[in-house]
Structure 1
Amino acid sequence: MEFVEVRRDGPVTFVTLSRPDVMNAINPAMHQELERAFTQFADDDSQWICVVRGKGDTAFCAGSDLKAASRDGLPPSYPEHGYAGLIQRFDCPKPFIAAVNGIALGGGFEIALACDLVVAADHASFGLPEPLVGAVALGGGLHRLARQMPLKLAMGTILASRRLTAAEASRMGLVNEVVALDALDEAVKRWCDDILKASPVAVRTSKALIARGLAEPDIEAALIAQPDYPEFRAWRASEDIKEGPLAFAEKRAPVWKGR
């Protein structure tokens, strides 16, 4: 790939947006490369967590490449799973972690919002400034931000094109942890290690049940529907559900199969 770097470390896939000369802004070719990278991760049973980050120390992603957009015309054509091959990837229950190492604006913020966890360097900032250039945040940012923070705060952030610091984003519940830049990799590894202690089947099932349950009208409906969710049935029939109690009884660490 030309604009995306993919590295695997055990069961963790690292996908790095690699256009540091333009703050990792996404052009049409990069959209397609990200689609392929995330699909390869989703389809690989040996890979359990995906970490997304930007190359360099300045930017996670500045969003869409406006020069490419002005040349090619709007709106651009996105891949199968939407903007950056990620924001409509509702069919992948594996955890995604955004390691935000700098500015995350426009589509960059939307990528972070689409991830399950966000770990940010203390100099990072977030925002949806699309209206300043006559555009609209169509990569899920409007809908996710309005659901992931209080509505009035979301409206203020969006309508005023306001940029949030990492500390502000953390206080609003958009970021799990804020650390110094030189501690970012260590913090991400700690989150990965904690997730990897658990059964990957249980982790994926938990993510899937949360997503499906939020689409139900209330908690009662979610609990009633839960046993019929396909992820719930797959978990009940998995090897991991047997391994956990067995390992506990035998006083050893569980050996998860991920199936």
Structure 2
Amino acid sequence: MITVDCKDHITHITLNRPAVLNAINPEMHAELQNSFDEFAGDDEQWICIIKGAGERAFSAGSDLKAIAKAGSKRQPYPKNGYAGLIERFDLDKPLIAAVDGVAVGGGFGIALACDLIIATTRSKFGLPEPLIGAVALGGGVHRLARQIGLKQAMGLVLSGESVDAHRAYELGILTELVEPDALESSVDRWCKQILRCAPLAVRASKEAMMKGLDEPSLASAMKAQESYPTFTRMQKSHDRKEGPSAFSEKRQPNWTG
């Protein structure tokens, strides 16, 4: 259902059901939950890239045929929500969605849960759940409104319409828009840029930004930031000393995470 490869501090997770546009069924939910658990718990894995197999889709979201077949016996989502990711609010490591093709419904929800979305020009995005009598409660409606603003999000959600990649970039959904043959090199470039930084500093930065958005004011966010757990851990780490030492000695830092 999925493939996982870990190399050079990067975990690659591929949604691997191209014949059904990488639609997610119960078995896939369980595999993704386990894979994200392993990524979150492994201090040697610093970045996760999520992509879909084939050239047609990142993911079309839930496998509707599997849902229809299960009927009232439909299995609940994993403990961390849709795809084992949507409600993983404490995951402070960088997540990159590499999107090539359709990313709709829960597939779009997965992408929205990532920190960076790098997408090709042939990609499409949307939350079409109302068209099939459903609601995008797997985080989609909430994240979309927070990321692009209420009125634009309402327009997409209430109509069930999808947007092409260029419009998605204009709306601020995407970090970068590339041609299909440049997707892999673009993602590699972003990973190399992130890996230049101290991993705990990256994690503490994400933690501060995400938790800060939940604070009622800028003042409270700035007051709370130094009490966050990853920031506290970073302050006591080898890397906190290694950065200034490497700079003063005019050498590349040796990050240990």
Shorter-chain TM-score bucket reads over 0.9
Q: Give the aligned partner of residue 48 of structure 1.
A: 46
2:170 equivalent in structure 1: 171
Residue 122 of structure 2 aligns to a residue whose secondary structure is coil
Q: CA deviation at 1:230?
A: 1.9
- 2:33 is matched with which residue? 35
**TM-score normalized by structure 1?**
0.97
What CA distance in whole angstroms lies between the structure 2 residues aligned with 1:73 and 1:86? 24
1:212 aligned residue: 211
Q: Which amino acid aligns with 1:147?
A: R
Q: Does residue 59 of structure 1 match 2:57?
A: yes
Counterpart CA distance in 1 for 2:79 and 2:90 is 12
Alpha-carbon distance between aligned partners in 2 of 1:41 and 1:224, rounded to the nearest angstrom: 30
Which residue in 1 is equivalent to 2:236? Answer: 237
User: How far 1:9 sits from its partner (Å)?
Assistant: 2.2
CA drift of 1:76 comes to 4.2
Contact 2:201–2:231 under 8 Å retained in 1 = no
User: Which residue of structure 1 lines up, in the alignment, with residue 194 of structure 2?
Assistant: 195
Deviation by residue 1:46-84 (Cα, 9 ceiling, x = unmatched): 110000000000000000000000011266410011000
List structure 1 segments (4+ residues) > 4 angstroms apart after TM superposition. Answer: none
Tell me the amino acid that sits aligned with residue 71 of structure 2. Answer: G
- The residue number in structure 1 matching 2:104 is 105
CA drift of 1:232 comes to: 2.0
Paired AA for residue 242 in structure 1: K
Q: Report the equivalent of 2:179.
A: 180
Query: For the residues of structure 2 that align with 1:30 and 1:233, how far apart are their CA atoms?
Result: 35
Is 1:147 the counterpart of 2:146 in the alignment? yes
Q: Which amino acid aligns with 2:15?
A: L
SS of residue matched to 2:246: helix
Measure the CA separation in 2 of the matches of 1:217 and 1:93.
21
Number of matched pairs: 256
Tell me whether 1:11 sits opposite 2:9 in the alignment: yes
Identity of aligned residues (%): 54
1:110 positional shift = 0.1
1:73 match: secondary structure: helix
Structure 1: which 5+ residue stretches go unaligned? none
Per-residue CA deviations over 1:79-115 (Å, capped at 9, x if unaligned) read 0110001111112110000000110010000000000
Please give the TM-score of this superposition, normalised by the length of structure 2: 0.98
